[in-house]
Structure 1
Amino acid sequence: MTIEQKRAAATVSRRMMVSLAVMAFGLALPATASAQDYPTQPIKLIVPGTAGGGMDVIARVIGDRIGTILKQPVVVENKPGAGGNIAVDYVAKSKPDGYTMLIGQTAHFSINPSLYSSLPFDPVKDFQPVTLLADAPNVVMVNAESPIKNLDELVAAAKASEKGLSLATPGNGTVSHLTGELFQKTAQVKFNHIPYKGAAAALTDVMGGRVDFMLSSIPTALSQIKAGKLRPIAVSAAKRSPSLPDVPTIGEQGYPGFDAGTWYGLLVPAGTPTAVVEKLNAAANEAIEADDIREKIRQEGGDSYGGTSAEFAALMKADSEKWSKVVKESGAKVD
């Protein structure tokens, strides 16, 4: 190749590089602009459960406020089924543009990956955590007429009984079930687990005296507790619940360090632009900090949180490690 040919080739090469750079810049502009302008249309918030449940109420309360802050409506869509996996999979496969969000909880991300033999999504790789929203502990309850008044008496009765005490939960592999498994190991006691298909039937049987006691989330049982039909004897979180301030924790009753509950958090599909995630995080935290929102969550048996995306991701990782061990030791499985 002659010097002239090399110069000509170099000139063409430089022109191509400039053209490619301009094209790349042009392609980047829409993404940057869309992130800055976000949101420009309604946002969907997917709930892995039926309308009216504790998670649904939290989603609607916080979603409505996020919509007000971002000046675009947040539309709640309920997609129950398969232990929440239908809704979670739907969001995992949604476009990562910030217009489809998920309210997820402990079971979906910390328990189901160990409980199910296979899942159609990866709970880590397919999602970007936005922020923790709330936490709701489980509550240990007996019939209002039961002679058992505290956790010591419950454990003593279980150890004294030849048949053991019967424990009702909303289902096999639920947070309530695995909290019971964790407590059995901690207290070195054995209960006869009776898994129900949902909390309603379990509550009915405990109130009717057909089952000795029950573990369930506070939102599920709060109305029956307030009505005097159930006696709460312990909450499973590290600190007392603002919804049941007079009920001591399991840790306070001789089992220090015991902490098990259900967190609720906001997530989006992996690949959602960082600027969009940051906007959603800021809006969600602003919503959670409002006194009226905190009170509504408290009425549902939850405690409001918030925080950064990184903090929520760290919580999810630690929680997954804890619950995967409990699932393995319990032998719980769902096909």
Structure 2
Amino acid sequence: MDFRTRTLRLSRRAACLAGAAFAAGLMLPLVAQADDYPSRPIKLVVPGTAGGGMDVIARVIGDKISASLKQPVVVENKAGAGGNIAVDYVAKAAPDGYTIVIGQTAHFSINPSLYAKLPFDTIKDFIPVVMLAESPNVMVVGAQSPYKTLADVVKAAKESPDGLALATPGNGTVSHLTGELFQKAAGIKFTHIPYKGAAPALTDVMGGRVPVMLSSVPTALSQIKAGKLRPVAVSAVKRSPALPDVPTIGEQGYPGFDAGTWYGLLVPAGTPPDVVKKLNAAANEAIKLPEVREKILAEGGDVVGGTSDQFATMLKADYDKWSKVVKESGAKID
């Protein structure tokens, strides 16, 4: 072997070792990031205004996660475009666990089919961390309504040549699409009356101007407790802890009927698995606390919890279900 050949081989070996060392160096910050996480404040983004039901849940959960992880959790409200502004913001955030979104059914399972084009993919661009809670819709009528049960509502719808008027907070909402699911299950027709928000819809139902409404439990709960609305059914497979005396749609002749809203934490795709595990553990620990469970119950929710994988499986199934309903309903927002 001549000197030149030997030198060339040594140079190649040195280059390989240097490359390996460089790659290892690049990996060190990622490992350290997961091991040291969190080392600074965490941002929890809420796709809505301050004071709403989701905001209330975010703040109580954020406080407990902060105590568990020994870092501040700062809630940031980003309302607009049906939650799409907030979701897009988090989708484009660094995948380091320092930007989280509290999302729900409408944002992640319905909007992708409802809106003509979104700048993000709710399945590919996010990692589900934990499903915090779920809340069914509730079918309500005015306190003076002749309808006492779900059977009364179905009978009235069948007897109405143009279909029974059904109020919802808006086109493409969970309430609207729950109505679409139910009219198919019951073989009836509703005339959908979409309002710009729940408040005016509730006012018209309480005043007898519209006979029936589908609403989230948190939205209608105070008026139900005040005796201004009569609940006739909830849309989940089991009764709502917030309305234990109200039978489910399934109990009243439509077994297996299940529609409602879930709330959960998600992070950008690419977030390190160890970071996701830490967030999942902290959130599960938080929702086991009596004060947190009571707050979620007061907002009409039922605590869930579980693993990241369980949430991911549920999200995909929920996405597929609502995509089909949106398509069949013809609902669209440009």
Bin of the TM-score, shorter chain as denominator length: over 0.9
Partner of 1:128: 127
Partner of 1:55: 54
Give the TM-score, by structure 2 length.
Answer: 0.98
Superposition pairs for residues 252-267 of structure 1, below 5 Å?
Answer: 252-267=251-266
Amino acid at match of 1:156: K
Partner of 1:194: 193
**Counterpart Cα distance in 1 of 2:183 and 2:61:** 35
Please give the root-mean-square deviation of Cα atoms over the aligned residues, in Å: 1.0
* Displacement after TM superposition at 1:66 (Å): 0.5
Secondary structure of the 1:69 match is: helix
Unaligned runs of 5+ in 1: none
Partner of 2:184: 185
**Counterpart Cα distance in 2 of 1:20 and 1:268:** 32
**Counterpart Cα distance in 2 of 1:214 and 1:165:** 11
**Counterpart Cα distance in 2 of 1:282 and 1:141:** 37
Partner of 2:216: 217
Unaligned runs of 5+ in 2: none
- Contact 2:163 2:188 (C-alpha < 8 Å) held by counterparts: no
Q: Deviations over 1:270-309 (max 9, x none)?
A: 1111111111011011111112211110110000111111
Q: Which moved more, 1:229-238 or 1:290-299?
A: 290-299
Q: Deviations over 1:71-109 (max 9, x none)?
A: 111111111111110000010111111111000111111
Structure 2 residue 22 is the aligned partner of structure 1 residue 23: yes
- Contact 2:129 2:276 (C-alpha < 8 Å) held by counterparts: yes
Structure 2 residue 56 is the aligned partner of structure 1 residue 89: no
Partner of 2:206: 207
**Counterpart Cα distance in 2 of 1:20 and 1:61:** 48
Q: Which moved more, 1:290-299 or 1:85-94?
A: 290-299
Q: How many residue pairs are counted as aligned between the two chains?
A: 334
**Counterpart Cα distance in 2 of 1:17 and 1:164:** 75
* Stretches (4+) displaced over 3 A: none
* Displacement after TM superposition at 1:330 (Å): 0.6
**Counterpart Cα distance in 1 of 2:261 and 2:131:** 11
Partner of 1:227: 226
Name the % identity: 73
* Displacement after TM superposition at 1:69 (Å): 0.6
Superposition pairs for residues 1-335 of structure 1, below 5 Å?
Answer: 3-335=2-334
- Contact 2:233 2:246 (C-alpha < 8 Å) held by counterparts: yes
* Displacement after TM superposition at 1:53 (Å): 1.2
**Counterpart Cα distance in 2 of 1:332 and 1:222:** 27
* Displacement after TM superposition at 1:161 (Å): 2.2
**Counterpart Cα distance in 2 of 1:149 and 1:243:** 19
Secondary structure of the 1:46 match is: strand
Give the TM-score, by structure 1 length.
Answer: 0.98
Amino acid at match of 1:73: P
* Displacement after TM superposition at 1:3 (Å): 4.4
Q: Deviations over 1:213-267 (max 9, x none)?
A: 1001101111111001000000000000000000000000000000000011100
